[in-house]
Structure 1
Amino acid sequence: MNEILINDTTSFYQKTFNSPADKVVLSPGRINIIGEHIDYNDGYVLPAAIDKIICFAFKRNNSKVAKIHAIDLDEKFEIDVTEKQELSDCVWTNYLRGVLHQLQLKGYEIEGFNCVFSSNIPTGSGLSSSAALECGFLFGINELFQLGIKPIDIALMGQSAEHWVGINCGIMDQFSSVMGVENKVVKIDCKTLDYTYHEANFVDYSLILFDSNVKHSLFTSEYNTRRIECGEGLEIIKANYPEITSFRDCKEQHVTSLQAKMTDNVYRRSLYVVKEIQRVIQACEALDKGDILTLGGLMFDTHDGLSKDYEVSCAELDYLVELAKAEENVIGSRLMGGGFGGCTITLVKKGSEEAVKTKFAKLYADKFGIDLKIHDVKVSNGTSLYKN
C-alpha cells in the first residue's frame, strides 16, 4: 500500500513541477500500546510508529517562496519562507506555517522549495496525522537544506509547531513519529524525555484498530478538566507527603490514604494516573519476556480505568471492549487516545482476524447503526528518507 502512495506522490510532483523530486520523506502515524492520559502527569508512555504514513516529495526552487500541494485535499498554497508566519483560516496550512515559524525562531535560514504530500493515515482515528505532517515536513526541509537538526529536536520543534497552532499536546505523538523503530515500542519518560526501546514482537497476535467512527464534542472541555483535576490531586498529595514531587513518586496507598481529603472526581483521577504509570512499567517487563498475555490483561485494565475512574470513554468504545473481552481470540483491548470516540487498540489471535472483524462490525452496526472502520497496523520505522 505504501509503495502505491509513494508512486502516486512522486508522479504528482513530476506532473506538477515538470521535474522529479530531490527528496522523498515518509512520516508515520503512531499508536500507543499503553500509558494513556499520563503524558501530562509526568508519567511514561509506550507508543510506536506504524505503517500508515504521509509521503512528501521536495525540491528546492531557487526562490523565497514555498509552493505546497496537499494532494488528498486538492488544495495548495504559496508562502514566503523569509516572512514572519501568521495563522491562517485554512487550518491544515497552519501546521506547516508552525514549522516554518519554529525554524525562524531558532535562526535557521532557508530558501524556497516545492512540496507535495499525500497520506494513508486514517484521519480522525487518533493516529496523530498532525504530528506526522509537522515532523515529516520539518524532516524534509532539514534534509533539503542540510540544517543538521537532530531527530529529537525535530520532534520537539514539531510539538512547538502544534502548540503554535493552538493545540497543547504532549510530546508523545511527535516523538514516536520521528524516533520509531520497526518492531519496537519506545518507552518515553515524559518528564525527562529519556527513552528506551522494547521488543514489540506480538508473536501469535495481530494489532487491529477498531474505529468507533464517532467523536463526541466533550473532548476538549473534558480534557482540560482532567488536567485541572489531576493538578488538584497532586497538590493534596504533596501537601500531605512532602517527599513526593510528582505522580510517578506515588504509590496507590498515598492516594487511598487521602480519599477523604479529595473530591470523588479528583480521587478517582489521581488513582487512575498512579495505577497507569505502574501499568506501563509492567507492560515493558511483559514485552521484554515475550509475555503477550500479561500485556493484553494490562490493556483491559487500562480501559476499565479510563472508563470508570478517568471517565473519558463512551458507550461505543465500552461496547467494543466488551465484545473483545467476550471473544476467546482476543487477549487485550482498550480505547486509545484522548477518548470520547476514536479507536480501540486490540490484540487478536492470528488466523482469526477476519472472523473477529466481521463479527464486531455486524454487532456494532446492529447496536449503534454506525459502520465500524477497521485498520490493520504494524509497528514500523519513524520518519525517514525514502530510498528506491
Structure 2
Amino acid sequence: MQGDFVKIAKNYSAKTAYLVFSAMSTPQGSFQMSKALAKFSGLMLFLNDQNNNWYQHGIPGIAQSTDETVAKLKAEFASEGIERIVCIGASMGGYGAALYGEMLEADLVICFSCELELGLPFSRSALHSAVNKDDPRYSIDKVIRHNTKTKFIFVVGTSDIIDLYNISLIKDCGFEIYFLSSKNHFLTQDLHTAFSLENIIRDFEAGQGFPDHTWLENSEQFQQDFAHIDKVYELYVAVRRRNHERCAELISQIPAHNSLETAKLYTGMYYSRMKNYAEAEILLEQAMEKNPVNRETLFQLAICKRALGKLEEAAKLYVQVLEQDPGYAAAHHHLGMIEERYKNLDKAAFHFESAMAIKAEPQYAANLVSVLEKQVVEITNRIQELTPISSQA
C-alpha cells in the first residue's frame, strides 16, 4: 500500500488515522497538504487519484474499486490498532474525503471547496474528468447518508458559484458549514498562509470551530440571499451557454437587492453580453466591492470599461487579471487591443504573442498579424527616411 498515488507515514502515539485526499490534477508522485500536515501525529495516508477519476475507481496502489479500497483500509487500520479516523480533502479531494469518510464511518470529515453532486453543468467534475454522474453509488444521498457516527465539516468561499450551489444541497442537513467571505475555490492557500492548515484542522478536531469570525459570512442578509443560490447557479449556466432569454427570466426571479457577489457578477455579465455596458458596469463594480481580487469580475469589468471608452481603467484591470493569472490568454488579447489603440505596437505585439503562446486562437493570430504589418510599415518608412542620409556616408 505505497507508490505514486499513496504515501504513508507512521509517526504516532494516539491511535488516529488521517486520510488526506489530493485535489484535481495533483501530479503523480505528489500529494496535496503533505508538507502542511507533516507534523501531525498519527497514521498519515496521503492519497492521489489517477486521471482525475474523483476517487470513483478506488485508489491506485490500494485497489481498483471503492469497496475493495475500503476493505483494505479497514484491514490496515485494524492491524495498526487504529481507534479514530479523520478524512480531509479540498476540491476533488473534498469529495474523496466525504465519500470514503462515509464508507469508513470516520469520526470526522473535513471538506474544503468540494463538489458533492458530480457532473453538474460547467462544474469542475464535468469539465475536467470522466466521472459517471449516473452511477447511483456516487449520488449525493449515497455519498453522505447521515450515519450517526461521522461528523462532517464543510468550508466554502462565497465567491465560487459551483461550491456554493453544492453546499446549498446539504445546507439543511445539520452539518457544520463555514462560509468564508470573498474567498474563491482555492481558499486552502489563503487559510494556510493566515493560520496554517495544521492549526485549522486541530481547531476543528478540538471542536473549536473556525479560528477567526471576521473571515466568516453568516449574517441574516447573507442567509436570505443564499436562499436564491439555485437561481444564481442556473443564471451562471445560462450565461455560459449564452441563453439570453433564460438569463432574463432568471434575473427577474432573483430579488434585485440580492447582495451575493455571484449574483452581481453573472447579472453584470448578462448585461454586458446584451451590450448594456452602463448597467453591467454598476453591477460588476458592486461585485468588485465585495471581492476586489476576483479574477472573473476584474476581467468582465475591464470589458465594460473598454466598451465605454474608459481605456486606461480597462488596461489597469487587465493588468490586475494578469498579475493573478499570467496564463489568461483573453486578458493578454484584450490588453493588446488597447495598446494597439494607443499605437504602442511593441506592447501590443507582446500581448498578442503571449495570448498566442497560451492558446492559438484565430483571432489572436489575426490581431498579431495586423500589428506586425503596421510595424513593417513603420520600419519601411523609417528606412526610406534614412536611406538618403546613409548614402552620403
TM superposition score normalised by structure 2:
0.29
Q: Which has the larger radius of gyration?
A: 2
Higher helix share: 2
Higher share in strand: 1
